[in-house]
Structures are given as C-alpha cells and as structure tokens.
A and B are shown apart, each in its own frame.
Chain A
Amino acid sequence: MGMQISAELLDGIVLAVVQQADTYGYALTQQIQETIDISPSTLYPVLRRLKAQGALSTYDKPFGGRNRRYYQLTPLGAQILRDTEKNWRTHKAQIDYFLTKLEPKEGAQ
C-alpha cells in the first residue's frame, strides 16, 4: 500500500488512463488496480469530480443489452493532465534530491 496518493495525483492518474483510450468504470478501476491498491468506491468520487470540472465527458454505448458509460478526455482534461505531469516532475525532483541524492559527508560515519 505504502504512501497516500493526493487527490491531485489521483486525478492525474485517472486522466492519464482515460487519455490512452476512452474507458468505462470497471475497466478503469481494473487498470489502475494493476499498479495501485485502490478501492472502487474511491474512484467514483474522482470520476464524478473530474466530470463536474469538465475534465472528462461521458457517452453511453450499448453493450450486452444495456448501456455502458464511457469516459472521454476533454481539452480541459488534457490541459489538467499536462499541468499535473509538470507539477509531478518538479515535485519528484525535489523529493529525489533529499531521498536519493544526498550522500554521507566525507569523514562522517
């Protein structure tokens, strides 16, 4: 499980997955769960929030006698994803500096 993922990063993860291809709730959850331990009930509020922001849009497609709701990235969503990527790169470099770049001082034990 490890560290807590912030809401901003979770938004970014969902946007990145939807960017690859339009997808529906179950497939999206499965794809994220392959890497991150996250509960399906956590992803619903994220999707709802992104849709309300206009970062995602939805459309229904018939599947097996019912309608499946697909999520699609909007231009705003693509912009948010780029911003999140940029922020993450900066953040990652800052944390890496402390956790992986700092060496023991000469002569220190």
Chain B
Amino acid sequence: MTIADYFAELTRLLAPLTADERTEAIEYFQDYVADAQFSDGAAVTAELGSPRQLALKILADYSIKSSAATSADGEKVSPRANARQIWTIVLAILSAPMSIPVAIMIFALMIALLLIVSALSAALLIVLAGLCLTGLFVSGFALWSGIWLVFSDPMIGISYLGLGLAAGGAGVILIPVLKWAAQGLASVWAAFFRWLYRKVRRQRQEAI
C-alpha cells in the first residue's frame, strides 16, 4: 500500500464527518506523515494503525463529543445518531487490540453462565412446585370422590380416601423440600454474584 492509498482509504472511511472535519483530520495526518518522512503505507500503518483503526479512533471521538454537546444543549439526540454512535463504538472496540474482543467474549460467557444458572434454578423450582401442587390437587379430588363413594360403595370409597390422604401427605412433605430448595438456590445465587463481582472487579483493576 502506498501512502496515497492509505489516505484514499482513510478519506473514504471518514465519510460520516462533514467535509471540513474530514479535510482537517486528513491534513493533520498528511502533515504528520510528511514530517515523519515515512517511505510507504506500511510504515504509516506501523505508526498510526491501519486506515480503519485510525478512522474509527477519529470517528469515535467525534460521535462521543457530538452526543455530549447535544445532550448538554438539552436537544433530543435522534435515534439514528445514537445508532450511528453505537455502531461506530462497536466497530472501534472490535478493531482495537485483542484484549477488548477477548473481554467481550468473557463478558458474553458470563451472561451465558448467568442464563444457564437462572434457567436451571427456575426449572428446579417449577418442577418441585408442580409436584407439590399435583399432590394437593389429587388429594383434594380423591378425598372429595371418596366421601361420596363411602356411602354407595364403602370399600372403593375408603380406598379413594386413603389415596387422597397419601397424595395430600406427599404434597405436604414436598412443601419443606420446596422451601429448602428455594433457600439453597438463593444462597447459590448470592455466591454466584459475589464471585462474578470479584471477577469483574479484578479484571477492571488489571485493565487500569
């Protein structure tokens, strides 16, 4: 890549800026490259980064500044400008040195872990609550039928009553289990969040 190619690419990537802003940035870096006496595009890339990296750095500065200026004026920032800014920042992050994409990946993994833990906890609680409710429902139904059957057909009625009492008992036994599981899960959750917090805090300290 020649130096002219580098700046042609940079000009193209700075398209979101106004003509004045673009000219100013291009002139500054052309000045810089001329003073540094770089011989080719590779030398320029070694110093300033690829045209894309440099353009994103310039654009990110503009979009952060312009949104700060508009919100300070109390004007409404258009959703489109916001979208452009978010997109620019995402691209800037992705083009940054490896550490930031890696950090994003770790963050995504943490979110995934969070979802898995919450899904498992919810599933366990729902299954337990379901069993408990089924027991009580079967019990109620069997006892109700049993009471009527006792008069017409005592043996069947008694067996229904027995079934009802057994199901009711099973349901009632499950209530403490449900309570215990909920408490257990709450403490697991708390431990998980403490771990997550420590992890994030440590990474932030390492980053500084």
Q: B35 on the interface (CB 8 Å rule)? A: yes
- Which residues from chain A contact B48 at a C-beta distance below 8 Å? 39-41
**Min distance, Cβ B48 to any Cβ of chain A, angstroms:** 6
- Which residues from chain B contact A44 at a C-beta distance below 8 Å? 25, 28-29, 58
CA distance A4 to B27 in the complex (A): 28
Closest to B49 in A: A41
Closest to B64 in A: A45
Q: Is the CB of B32 within 8 A of A29?
A: yes
CA distance A69 to B28 in the complex (A): 8
- With an 8 Å Cβ cutoff, the count of chain A residues facing the other chain is 20
- Which residues from chain A contact B125 at a C-beta distance below 8 Å? none
CA distance A68 to B31 in the complex (A): 6
Q: B61 on the interface (CB 8 Å rule)? A: yes
Among B28, B36, B47, point to the contact of A47 (Cβ < 8 A). B28
With A44-B29, A49-B65 given, is the CB distance from A26 to B36 under 8 Å?
yes
Most buried by A among B25, B31, B47: B31
Closest to A44 in B: B28
CA distance A49 to B64 in the complex (A): 12
With A49-B65, A69-B28 given, is the CB distance from A41 to B54 under 8 Å?
yes
Closest to A65 in B: B34
Q: B19 on the interface (CB 8 Å rule)? A: no
Q: Is the CB of A24 within 8 A of B54?
A: no
- Which residues from chain B contact A24 at a C-beta distance below 8 Å? 31, 35
Q: A108 on the interface (CB 8 Å rule)? A: no
Q: Is the CB of A4 within 8 A of B58?
A: no
Most buried by A among B32, B36, B47: B32
Known: A3-B208, A44-B58, A48-B61. 18 other contacts (CB 8 A): A24-B35, A25-B31, A25-B32, A25-B35, A26-B32, A26-B36, A29-B32, A41-B48, A41-B54, A41-B57, A41-B58, A42-B57, A45-B57, A45-B58, A48-B25, A48-B28, A49-B65, A69-B31
14 A-B pairs whose Cβ atoms sit less than 8 Å apart in the complex: A3-B208, A26-B32, A26-B36, A27-B35, A29-B32, A39-B48, A41-B48, A41-B54, A44-B25, A44-B28, A45-B58, A48-B61, A66-B34, A68-B31
